[in-house]
């Protein structure tokens, strides 16, 4: 383990580049067998953040040779229209992966949309069937963000067996599936949420803290002990100058970013807490790129599974 006050930054961007290169080689092999991984992305409305996320995903497809298509649907699309469109994609044999970019407009019932995706094309890993396989430890691929986190641990040979892992957040996208993956690695897992009363006390007992609560700088430095491993999943946009100064300081690079763009990004963990860690993932450039790298690998795996089942 690194010595006290010498934290190691777990650079998700560099690891994602390494995995992307490996994925590119895998796609080249598949193309020689006339297998072309094919991802269909559905984006409803014109949310700027969602557009950025989709753009990053399609760029990764371009780098690896995955065929992709982005379907832009209007903000006022009905639930029935979206369900019909997903069924059309389900029926196309050449389509290996279907990804519906979240969040969705209020008239859309998210659960019904996810349920409508053919589980073998659910490369996000959010369909109840795939969640059930994950619960049983029989998943064919991992949900993207939790899978990316697991890859970070593996790349840096960070042992999980017997470790006390505290997850802040119980979402279907991160908290719940991440807890299952960590238990599969024989970690002891505690999940905190909005109704948990003693979060700081629980964090002080943690070997590993995974913050996925969606609140900027929620985990304060005094919440954690020295040499804790910090996985910061949160991506929060701060648009108040006073808050930027309070969290980062007036001379920090984030202040310069704020002055140029009118906002800056902050994780769920206070940056001063990173200095107490042994390892930490930065925001941005930590978990985010690994989420996309996992999506790419899931799409490749889905293409191979579907080919083998034909």
| Binding-site entries | 169-171, 235
- Which residues have a Cβ under 8 Å from the Cβ of 197 and sit 6 or more positions away? none
In sign, the C-alpha dihedral spanning 145, 98, 51, 81 is negative
Which of 57, 121, 163, 276 is an active site residue?
A: 57
In whole angstroms, how far apart are CA 243 and each of 124, 188, 249, 250?
34, 35, 9, 10
Is 259 considered catalytic here? no
Is 176 considered catalytic here? no
Pairwise CA distance, residues 185 & 86, whole Å: 35
Q: Which residue, chain included where needed, has tokens 């619960």? A: 135
> Where would I find the H helices in 230-284?
241-248, 253-261, 271-274
Which of 118, 122, 124, 232 is an active site residue?
A: 124
Is 101 considered catalytic here? yes
- Which residues have a Cβ under 8 Å from the Cβ of 265 and sit 6 or more positions away? 235, 236, 237, 238, 254, 283, 284
Pairwise CA distance, residues 310 & 45, whole Å: 35
Put the strands of the sheet holding 97-100 in their side by side order: 67-73, 38-44, 97-100
Sequence ranges of the binding site for NADP(+): 169-171, 235
Termini Cα distance of the chain: 48
Q: Which residue, chain included where needed, has tokens 């119980």? A: 170
Phi, psi of 130 (to 5 degrees): -70, -35
Q: Which residue, chain included where needed, has tokens 């946009």? A: 237
Cβ pair 288, 15 in contact under 8 A: no
Neighbours of 61 (CB within 10 A): 24
Active-site residue set: 57, 101, 124
């Amino acid at each position: 383990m690194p010595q006290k006050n010498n934290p190691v930054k777990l650079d998700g961007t560099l690891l994602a580049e390494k995995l992307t290169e490996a994925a590119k080689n895998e796609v080249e092999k598949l193309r020689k067998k006339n297998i072309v991984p094919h991802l269909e992305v559905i984006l409803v409305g014109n949310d700027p953040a969602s557009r950025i996320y989709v753009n990053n995903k399609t760029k990764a497809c371009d780098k690896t040779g995955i065929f992709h298509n982005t379907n832009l649907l209007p903000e006022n699309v009905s639930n029935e229209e979206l369900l019909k469109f997903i069924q059309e994609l389900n029926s196309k044999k050449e389509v290996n992966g279907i990804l519906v970019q979240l969040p969705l407009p209020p008239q859309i019932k998210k659960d019904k949309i996810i349920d409508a995706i053919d589980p073998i094309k659910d490369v996000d890993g959010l369909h109840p069937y795939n969640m059930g396989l994950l619960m049983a430890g029989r998943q064919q691929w991992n949900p993207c963000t939790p899978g990316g986190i697991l890859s970070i641990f593996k790349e840096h040979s960070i042992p999980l067996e017997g470790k006390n892992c505290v997850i802040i957040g119980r979402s279907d996208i991160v908290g719940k599936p991440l807890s299952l993956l960590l238990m599969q690695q024989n970690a002891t897992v505690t999940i905190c949420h909005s109704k948990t009363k003693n979060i700081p006390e629980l964090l002080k007992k943690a070997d590993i803290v995974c913050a996925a609560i969606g609140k900027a700088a929620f985990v304060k430095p005094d919440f954690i002990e020295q040499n804790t491993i910090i996985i910061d999943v949160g991506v929060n946009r701060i648009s108040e100058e006073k808050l930027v100064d309070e969290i980062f300081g007036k001379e920090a690079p984030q202040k310069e970013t704020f002055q140029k763009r009118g906002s800056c990004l902050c994780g769920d963990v206070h940056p001063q807490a990173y200095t107490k860690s042994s390892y930490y993932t930065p925001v941005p450039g930590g978990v985010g790129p690994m989420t996309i790298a996992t999506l790419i690998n899931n799409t490749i795996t889905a293409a191979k599974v579907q080919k083998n089942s034909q």
